[in-house]
C-alpha cells in the first residue's frame, strides 16, 4: 500500500444527497469523512475524495488539495469555476453559487474537466469558458468556449435593469436603448415608450445582422 492511499479521508457512515448551494436545484452526494492527517471529521462531496481532489479536511493545503495540475493551462479556469460556485467568500459568489449556479458532479474532478477542455477548446487566444444558458450551471451540455464579444452579447440582464429587456433602461420618464457591438456599447437613442425602444433595438440587430439576441429570444 502506498502511503498516499493510506491518507485518503475515511468515510464515516452513509453518503447522502444535499443541495450544492442553498439556492441550487442540483444535489451532490456528500459524506462525513475523517481526516487521516489530523483526525478531524468533516463533510465534503464524495466525488472530491474519489477523484483525489480532496485529500484532507483542509488542514494540509486547503480544501482543494494540490494534485500536481496547478501549472496546467486549464487549472485556473477550473479553479475559478469551482470557487465562484462553492466558496461563499469569493467576490462574485452571489452571482454564481449564491443564485444556484453549480458545477456538474463530473467536473468537480479536475482531470475530467481538463479532458473535456482539451478536446473542445479552439486553441486560439481570447476564448474563455462560457455558459450557453446563464441560469444553468457548468456542465458539458451547457458550456462552450467563447470570445469576449460573444460573452458580452449574451450577458444576462443586470440586476438593476427594471425594463425586463436587455439593453433597455429608463430614467423614469424616457427609455434608452443601447447595444454591445464588437465589445463596445452603442447608444441607439431615447424613446417615449419601452416598446419603441425595444423595437428600435431589435431592428438594429436585424438590420446589421448582429449575433445579439432579439427581445423575443429571451
Ligand atoms: Zn485534517
Residue 111 shares a structural domain with residue 136: yes
Mean pLDDT score, 23-49 = 90
Cα 9 to averaged position of ligand 1 atoms, centre (Å): 9
Least confidently predicted of 5-9, 21-25, 49-53: 5-9
Cα 70 to averaged position of ligand 1 atoms, centre (Å): 21
Residue 190 shares a structural domain with residue 134: no
Name which residue leads in pLDDT, 89 or 217.
89
Cα 68 to averaged position of ligand 1 atoms, centre (Å): 20
User: Would you say residue 1 has pLDDT above 50?
Assistant: no
Sort 212 into a burial class: Cβ within 10 Å, 0-12 / 13-18 / 19+: buried
Specify the 3-state DSSP secondary structure of 90: coil
User: Would you say residue 48 has pLDDT above 50?
Assistant: yes
Cα 63 to averaged position of ligand 1 atoms, centre (Å): 10
Q: Is residue 31 part of a domain?
A: yes
Residue 89 shares a structural domain with residue 16: yes
Cα separation, 182 vs 174, in Å, equals: 26
Name which residue leads in pLDDT, 13 or 155.
13
pLDDT digit string, tens, across residues 152-197: 666 665 555 667 888 988 888 888 999 988 878 889 988 888 888 8
In sequence order, which ranges of the chain are alpha helices (DSSP H)? 3-6, 46-51, 75-86, 110-120, 148-153, 194-207
User: Would you say residue 70 has pLDDT above 80?
Assistant: no
Amino acid 203: pLDDT: 84
Helix pair angle (110-120, 75-86), 10° resolution: 120
Least confidently predicted of 34-48, 55-69, 139-153: 55-69
Residue 79 shares a structural domain with residue 102: yes
Amino acid 55: pLDDT: 82
Residue 42 shares a structural domain with residue 124: yes
Residue 116 shares a structural domain with residue 208: no
Cell 439593453 maps to which residue? 167
Residue 148 shares a structural domain with residue 172: no
Give the residue numbers spanning the domain of 133: 10-153
Amino acid at each position: 500500500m502506498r502511503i498516499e492511499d493510506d491518507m485518503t479521508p475515511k468515510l464515516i457512515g452513509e453518503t447522502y444527497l444535499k443541495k450544492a448551494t442553498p439556492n441550487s436545484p442540483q444535489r451532490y452526494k456528500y459524506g462525513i469523512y475523517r481526516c487521516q492527517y489530523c483526525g478531524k471529521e468533516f463533510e465534503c462531496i464524495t466525488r472530491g475524495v474519489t477523484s483525489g481532489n480532496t485529500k484532507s479536511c483542509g488542514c494540509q493545503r486547503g480544501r482543494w488539495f494540490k494534485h500536481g495540475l496547478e501549472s496546467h493551462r486549464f487549472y485556473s479556469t477550473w479553479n475559478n469555476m469551482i470557487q465562484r460556485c462553492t466558496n461563499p467568500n469569493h467576490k462574485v459568489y452571489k452571482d454564481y453559487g449564491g443564485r444556484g449556479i453549480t458545477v456538474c458532479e463530473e467536473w468537480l474532478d479536475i482531470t475530467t474537466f481538463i479532458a473535456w477542455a482539451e478536446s473542445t477548446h479552439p486553441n486560439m487566444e481570447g476564448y474563455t469558458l462560457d455558459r450557453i444558458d446563464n441560469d444553468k450551471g457548468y456542465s458539458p451540455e451547457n458550456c462552450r468556449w467563447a470570445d469576449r464579444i460573444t460573452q458580452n452579447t449574451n450577458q444576462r440582464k443586470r440586476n438593476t435593469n427594471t425594463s425586463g429587456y436587455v439593453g433597455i433602461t429608463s430614467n423614469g420618464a424616457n427609455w434608452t436603448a443601447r447595444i454591445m457591438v464588437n465589445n463596445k456599447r452603442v447608444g441607439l437613442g431615447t424613446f417615449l415608450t419601452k416598446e419603441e425602444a425595444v423595437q428600435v433595438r431589435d431592428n438594429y440587430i436585424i438590420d446589421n445582422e448582429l449575433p445579439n439576441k432579439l427581445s423575443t429570444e429571451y
